[in-house]
């Protein structure tokens, strides 16, 4: 499921760039844990709404943006997001257990995460109750709060 062409195509359509994967100039939040520049709302079939900037997707109820973007997607995009949120991934680390690796935070299996995204999550979520689930350094990282998947973060490209 994680590597299917449909998944890549749908996720690419969901973001402002050609890929969700962060590069040297990813869509990123401001310094000091400021929120990202939210671009889209994703309506899931379970009734939840998620907000995304292309590199991070988070439950609207937790992000609590002042205003919602007017670009709303559902259908195939929502199914892909739901698939990622429900995936069983082999590695897990606490949000506060991430180690600094240069200009990123590092997790299991060489996963590198944007410092701004992690600082933002630490500002809006009770960090001690948050776990990050990973598979490889190229797959989306699942943000889990009290056992429930509440978001996704795309890893930073290794070497950037």
106-123 residue pLDDT tens: 998 899 999 999 999 999
- Cα separation, 36 vs 157, whole angstroms: 19
Q: How confident is the model at residue 23 (pLDDT cuts 50, 70, 90)?
A: very low
Token reading at 126: 């009770």
Which whole number is the average pLDDT over 51-57? 96
**DSSP state letter for 3:** T
- Tell me which DSSP letter residue 36 carries: P
The token pair at 44 is 């899931």
pLDDT of residue 103: 87
Amino acid 160: pLDDT? 45
The whole-model pTM stands at 0.83
Average pLDDT score over the chain: 84
Separation in Å, CA 111 to CA 33, 67, 78, 135 = 20, 31, 24, 9
Residue 149 clears pLDDT 50, i.e. is over it? yes
What token pair was written down for 119? 């600082």
Give strand ranges (E) for 2-147.
Answer: 40-43, 49-52, 56-59, 72-73, 91-94, 99-101, 104-106, 112-114, 130-134, 141-145
Task: Note the pLDDT tens digit of each residue in 26-42.
Answer: 445 656 689 999 999 99
CB atoms within 10 A of CB 132: 25
* Amino acid 33: pLDDT: 85
Q: What pLDDT sits at residue 29? A: 62
Strands 40-43 and 72-73: parallel
Kindly state the average pLDDT of the residues 82-92.
96
């Amino acid at each position: 499921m994680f590597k299917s062409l449909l998944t890549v195509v749908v996720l690419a359509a969901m973001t402002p760039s050609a890929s969700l994967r962060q590069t040297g100039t990813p869509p990123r939040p401001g310094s000091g844990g400021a929120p990202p520049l939210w671009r889209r709302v994703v309506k899931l079939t379970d009734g939840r709404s998620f907000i995304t900037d292309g590199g991070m997707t988070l439950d609207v109820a937790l992000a609590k943006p002042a205003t919602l973007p007017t670009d709303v997607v559902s259908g195939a995009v929502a199914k892909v997001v739901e698939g990622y949120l429900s995936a069983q991934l082999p590695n897990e680390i606490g949000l506060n257990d991430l180690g600094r690796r240069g200009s990123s935070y590092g997790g299991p299996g060489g996963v590198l995460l944007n410092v701004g995204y992690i600082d933002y999550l630490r500002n809006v979520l009770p960090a001690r109750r948050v776990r990050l689930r990973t598979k490889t350094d190229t797959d989306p990282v699942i943000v889990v709060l009290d056992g429930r998947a509440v978001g996704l973060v795309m890893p930073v490209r290794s070497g950037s």
